[in-house]
Amino acid sequence: MLVHICCSVDSHFFLEKLQTDFPDEKLTGFFYDPNIHPYSEYRLRYLDVQRSCKKLGIDLLEGEYDFETWMSLVRGLENEPEKGARCEVCFDRRFDVSAKKALELGETKITTTLLVSPLKSQEQLKRVGDLFYEKNGVEFIAVDYRSGGGSQDQSRVTKEEQLYRQDYCGCIYGLTMQRDQQGKLMDEMFSPLGNQILPASIEDRLELYQRRMDYEDAGQEYQLVREKFLNYRQYNLKISISKRLVDAHALIYSTLPRKKANGRIEHTINDIHFMNREEVKFITLEYFNTLSKSSFKTVKEMIFNPLSVERESEVRQKLCHSPYDLSPIFILDELKEGKIDIYLDAKNLRR
């Protein structure tokens, strides 16, 4: 039986149940989910499915990430709500490709882990599956592992196995609507220019879950521990001196309450230049290099090859007199005389 897999939270429990209910079937997992956006989130979900299938002794195949085809299929349905017309097209596509895969492999049965997802309509899935059976002769196994306490069992398994629990269905349209309704920043779509790995970003989780796999492969003990911290996201920075734009970098956790500030350098102490407004501080790249033990030639070079967030935070600690100082700190190639205009759109969010 070919089992289309959408994510580990749905698949681990589902596959365990299938192994019990269909002991004579050889199960093959098929991860085909080009709906998942962005690609880093797709990789993260796949990684956790790999781990789950490995634990259960189930072969896993990866489908093509044909995201552009998926996008063209749902064109015009962008504003549909979840469980609406876009989702139907999305299921159709994933079914169609999975069922073709089943035919290609000589399988006669197919099912999908989407059947246990509380966000999906079982009737909708069954309709699509039955239609495919009529067309292609691959039987759709519509098991119901949700009722009779199934959902509670699934939550227990998710916790016990420490599976990666995503908090959105998968596509950019569902995610946009969800974050709009929650009034939350669409953090998932942030990709810093220099690919710096931001705390709690998908890339950060990808590294964490990869490390977890490595520990498990090496038989090393580990524990995933949750943390609360101040999260930082920067949208835009622009600094001009005497109306001429200059290359600049805002040190992590730099924010301005009204996004804009202007002023002049008031005094300089120990290579830190203090502006007369908003507690703004400036340092030159040369001083930054000294503090961070790096050797950037220009600020531009640093923007495209940034230090890790941890190393940037260390520089902040060296520049501030207290651990709770969140003054905006900017790094420039050199500090010129003149009126300084700053536009910084950035947020600190508690996570």
Across the strands, what pairs with 331?
249, 283
Nearer to ligand SF4, 24 or 123 (CB): 123
Closest distance to ligand SF4 from the beta carbon of 129 (Å): 15
Closest distance to ligand SF4 from the beta carbon of 146 (Å): 16
Q: Is the peptide bond before 323 cis (omega within 30 degrees of 0)?
A: no
Closest distance to ligand SF4 from the beta carbon of 84 (Å): 8
Q: How far apart are CA 132 and CA 241, in angstroms?
A: 65
Nearer to ligand SF4, 66 or 153 (CB): 66
Nearer to ligand SF4, 124 or 292 (CB): 124
Nearer to ligand SF4, 175 or 280 (CB): 175
Nearer to ligand SF4, 29 or 174 (CB): 174
Q: Does the CA dihedral 122-128-131-133 come out positive or negative?
A: negative
Q: How far apart are CA 161 and CA 155, in angstroms?
A: 10
Q: How would you classify the pairing of strands 59-62 and 272-275?
A: unpaired
Closest distance to ligand SF4 from the beta carbon of 7 (Å): 11
Contact 139, 133 (CB under 8 A): yes
Closest distance to ligand SF4 from the beta carbon of 174 (Å): 3
Closest distance to ligand SF4 from the beta carbon of 86 (Å): 4
Q: How far apart are CA 75 and CA 88, in angstroms?
A: 13
Closest distance to ligand SF4 from the beta carbon of 130 (Å): 19
Alpha-helix residue ranges (DSSP H) falling in 260-308: 285-292, 299-304
Residues 12-38: b if buried by 16+ CB within 10 A, e if exposed:
bbbbbbbeeeeeeeebbbbbbbbbbbb
Footprint of ligand SF4 on this chain (CB under 6 A)?
Answer: 35, 82, 86-87, 90, 169-171, 173-174
Nearer to ligand SF4, 125 or 198 (CB): 125
Nearer to ligand SF4, 35 or 196 (CB): 35
What is the side-by-side strand order in the sheet with 260-263? Answer: 244-246, 230-241, 340-350, 260-263
